[in-house]
């Protein structure tokens, strides 16, 4: 026993290096095996509130797997007796039968011969007991007791560290669960309001969402950047049976190629340099919910193979792991790229394309649903005012006229940015859409300044519903140059039948002849041609 000093120092290093009690015991027991002729080492925690003893660490020599989290119900009087014994810091060495009679249920099942028990009293958490059993027919000698007494301090620290880690994990899981609950509530409350144009420009998309939400089929959302693909994905999630589960978004294009597997599928401790612990990937975190793979066309070939497997049978393996894992995740993918062309060029797997595109949803760009621009502008103006601390902001008819003439290459995302920029430039008095869009001075409508316009709006009476409808129709006629029928006519923009629109204009007194291009003032014609050069 003269080498107890170096041995004790090594054990202190082990305890300091590992986070969990199981890891510490796994490495400590082989160090003690020759000194104590050990067969089994276990640490059991006294849970007086739960009325039981819990095995928090277990190690049998020659076996790789431990027995953890085994709980043994124990009478309250036995737990009280254990508590008093732990307070005395007394180390016991007894025959297993006598020990079991003194503390029923404390010794691990399946042992025989002698047992050594030492109390571990951490400053935080419940007391624990170190239990050691020698290989038959060996017995513990007095010098063994002294060695174990020296081990009490480092093992007590290991118990404290394990307790703190468990508490942190519980707090993190509780916070994540609460966060998921709050996000789900917000999504359910706000997602309907977020999809502006559900009855007009996005009517067909909403019909597709309603159809596919009842199933677990993979969905592929195709659309230009900024067209609202994530909003559609959330709408699918909130209308599905997974609405109470997590909704996680992964931007596949923002993950470095060498980290894609680790991010999506997780990794085991030591699987690569920097993997200091195990980590759950996005698929495990989204278990029971929906995983939104944004920009899936950016996935490298190796990740495409693993994604194909999880779509086929729901199984995957962590990086550096050998154990197959199964998750229940609904996949919604999205991309602005032409996946057909990528499949043809060999940059995207054809079999993965078939798996992802079980139900494709094509999201039209904003320029193809300009009837939604007024409502979107009003929505973003309200949001900008709330965010910037301004009073209520609303776009005027002239603002809408400028907005519908713009081609919107950045789609809905660009519209939101323009409206917020207009709110900032207006400094709370109104929306300065002219400056926000960067309209040249020669093409700007002759209107009063934002301050005067806001003051006039506060004094002037509100237009009637018929007057507002007439203005809205006039804006559509300006946009189309007086054209009513056809795919780019006013009727298509307003999503009404051309005969219905003509009847409505006659009732409201709107003369569509004066909006024909050959009858329009030159600034408006120039603005239309400049904004949409390809439009006839």
Q: Over its length of 536 residues, how does the chain's per-residue pLDDT go in tens digits?
A: 456 788 888 888 888 887 778 888 888 888 887 788 888 888 888 888 778 888 888 888 777 555 544 778 888 888 888 888 988 888 998 888 888 888 888 888 777 788 899 999 888 778 899 999 888 888 888 888 888 888 888 888 888 888 888 788 777 776 776 676 666 555 544 444 458 888 888 889 999 999 999 899 999 999 999 999 999 999 999 999 998 888 999 999 888 888 888 889 888 877 777 676 778 888 988 888 999 999 999 998 888 988 888 888 888 888 888 778 888 899 999 999 988 889 988 899 999 999 999 999 999 999 998 989 999 999 999 989 988 888 888 899 989 999 999 999 999 999 999 999 999 999 888 899 999 988 654 444 544 444 444 444 444 456 787 888 888 888 888 778 788 888 878 888 888 888 888 888 888 888 877 776 544 443 333 333 333 333 33
* Cα–Cα distance, 267 to 264 (Å, whole number): 9
Residue 494 confidence (pLDDT)? 87
> Do the Cβ atoms of 134 and 118 come closer than 8 Å?
no
- For the chain, the maximum distance between any two Cα atoms, rounded to a whole number of angstroms, is 111
Give the containing element (helix H, strand E) for 126: none
- Nearest Cα neighbor of 59 from 40, 73, 44, 83 is 40
Strand pairing category for 247-251 and 290-294: parallel
pLDDT at position 158 is 87
- Which pLDDT score, from 0 to 100, does residue 184 have? 55
DSSP strand E in 92-197: where?
Answer: 92-95, 114-120, 128-134
Instruction: Note the pLDDT of residue 418.
Output: 94
pTM score of the predicted model: 0.52
pLDDT value, residue 94: 87
Pairing state between β 290-294 and 330-335? parallel
Residue 443 has a pLDDT of: 46
Partnered with residue 116 across adjacent β-strands are 93, 132
pLDDT at residue 182, as a whole number: 66
What are the Cα distances from residue 134, in Å, to 36, 89, 93, 118, 238?
7, 22, 11, 15, 58
Confirm if 282 and 237 have CB atoms less than 8 A apart.
Answer: no
Please report the pLDDT score of residue 491 as a whole number. 86
> CA-to-CA distance for 390 and 428, rounded, in angstroms?
5
DSSP string, 305-321: HHHHHHHHHSEE--BT-
Contacts of 221 (CB under 8 A, 6+ apart): 229, 232, 233, 332, 333, 334, 335, 360, 361, 363
pLDDT of residue 48: 82
Residue appearing with tokens 């159809």: 211
Structural domain spans, the chain: 4-166, 195-364, 370-531
Q: Which CATH class is domain 4-166?
A: alpha beta
CA 115 → CA 42, 47, 254, distances in Å? 11, 22, 57
Residue 67: per-residue pLDDT: 52
Instruction: Pick the closest to residue 95 from 80, 74, 112 (CA basis).
Output: 112
Closest CA to 375 of 199, 123, 230: 199
Q: What are phi and psi of 406, to 5 degrees?
A: -85, 140
Would you tell me which CATH number, out of the four given (3.40.50.300, 3.40.50.720, 3.30.70.260, 3.30.300.90), belongs to the domain 195-364? 3.40.50.300
What backbone torsions phi and psi does residue 348 show, to the nearest 5 degrees?
Answer: -140, 135
* pLDDT at residue 439, rounded to an integer: 62
**Which DSSP state fits 279?**
B
Half-sphere exposure in the Cβ direction for 320 (13 Å, CA): 18
CB count in 10 Å sphere of residue 339: 21
What does DSSP assign to residue 188?
H
Q: What does the alpha-carbon distance between residue 319 and residue 342 come to, in Å, rounded to a whole number?
A: 27
Q: What are the distances in angstroms from CA 50 to CA 160, 171, 291? A: 19, 20, 37
Contact between 232 and 205 under an 8 Å Cβ cutoff? The reply is yes
State residue 291's pLDDT score: 93
Neighbouring residues of 522: CB distance < 8 A, sequence distance ≥ 6:
none
CA separation for the pair 434, 225 (Å, rounded): 24
SS3 state at 221: strand
Query: Of all residues in the chain, what percent are helix, strand and coil, respectively (each to 5)?
Result: 55, 15, 35
* pLDDT for the residue numbered 525: 37
For 536, the 3-state DSSP assignment is coil
Q: If 0-12 CB within 10 Å is exposed, 13-18 middle and 19+ buried, where does residue 388 land?
A: middle
Contact 247, 282 (CB under 8 A): no
Closest CA to 106 of 157, 148, 43: 43
List the one residue out of 142, 77, 139, 144 whose CA is nearest residue 105: 77
Strands (E), 279-420: 290-294, 315-316, 325-326, 330-335, 359-362
């Amino acid at each position: 026993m003269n080498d107890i000093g170096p041995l004790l120092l090594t054990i202190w290093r082990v305890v300091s290096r590992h986070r969990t009690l199981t890891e510490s015991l796994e490495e400590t027991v082989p160090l003690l095996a020759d000194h104590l002729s050990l067969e089994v080492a276990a640490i059991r925690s006294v849970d007086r509130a739960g009325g039981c003893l819990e095995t928090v660490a277990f190690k049998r020599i020659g076996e790789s797997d431990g027995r953890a989290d085994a709980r043994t119900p124990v009478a309250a009087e036995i737990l009280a007796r254990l508590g008093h014994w732990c307070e005395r810091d007394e180390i016991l060495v007894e025959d297993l039968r006598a020990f079991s009679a003194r503390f029923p249920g404390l010794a691990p099942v399946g042992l025989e011969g002698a047992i050594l028990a030492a109390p571990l009293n951490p400053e935080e958490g419940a007391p624990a007991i170190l239990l050691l059993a020698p290989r038959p027919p060996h017995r513990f000698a007095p010098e063994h007791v002294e060695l174990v007494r020296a081990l009490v301090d480092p093992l007590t620290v290991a118990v404290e560290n394990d307790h703190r880690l468990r508490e942190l994990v519980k707090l993190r899981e509780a916070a994540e669960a609460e966060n998921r609950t709050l996000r789900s509530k917000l999504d359910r409350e706000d997602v309907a309001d977020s999809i502006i144009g559900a009855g007009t420009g996005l009517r067909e998309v909403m019909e597709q969402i309603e159809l596919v939400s009842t199933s677990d089929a993979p969905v592929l959302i195709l659309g230009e950047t900024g067209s609202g693909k994530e909003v559609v994905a959330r709408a699918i999630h909130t209308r599905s049976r997974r609405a109470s589960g997590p909704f996680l978004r992964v931007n596949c294009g923002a993950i470095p190629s060498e980290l894609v597997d680790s991010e999506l599928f997780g990794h085991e401790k030591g699987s690569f340099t920097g993997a200091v612990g195990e980590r759950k990937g996005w698929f495990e975190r989204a278990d029971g919910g929906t995983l939104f793979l944004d920009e899936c066309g950016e996935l490298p070939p190796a990740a495409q193979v693993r994604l194909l497997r999880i779509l086929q049978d729901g199984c995957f393996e962590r990086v550096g792991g050998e154990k197959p894992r199964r998750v229940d995740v609904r996949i919604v993918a999205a991309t602005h790229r032409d996946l057909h062309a990528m499949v043809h060029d060999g940059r995207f797997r054809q079999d993965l394309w078939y798996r992802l595109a079980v139900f494709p949803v094509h999201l039209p760009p904003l320029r193809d649903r300009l009837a939604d621009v007024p409502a979107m502008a009003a929505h973003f103006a309200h949001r900008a005012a709330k965010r910037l601390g301004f009073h209520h902001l609303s776009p005027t008819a002239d603002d809408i006229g400028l907005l519908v003439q713009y081609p919107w290459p950045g789609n809905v995302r660009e519209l939101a940015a323009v409206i917020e920029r207009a709110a900032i430039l207006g400094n709370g008095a109104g929306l300065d859409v002219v400056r926000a869009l960067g309209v040249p001075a020669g093409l700007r409508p002759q209107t009063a300044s934002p301050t005067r316009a806001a003051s006039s709006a506060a004094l002037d009476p509100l237009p009637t519903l018929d007057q507002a409808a007439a203005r809205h129709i006039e804006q559509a006629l300006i946009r189309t140059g007086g054209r009513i029928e056809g795919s780019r006519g006013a009727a298509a923009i307003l999503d009404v039948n051309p005969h219905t629109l003509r009847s409505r204009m006659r009732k409201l007194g709107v003369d569509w002849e004066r909006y024909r291009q050959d009858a329009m003032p030159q600034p408006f014609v120039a603005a239309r041609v400049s904004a949409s050069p390809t439009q006839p």
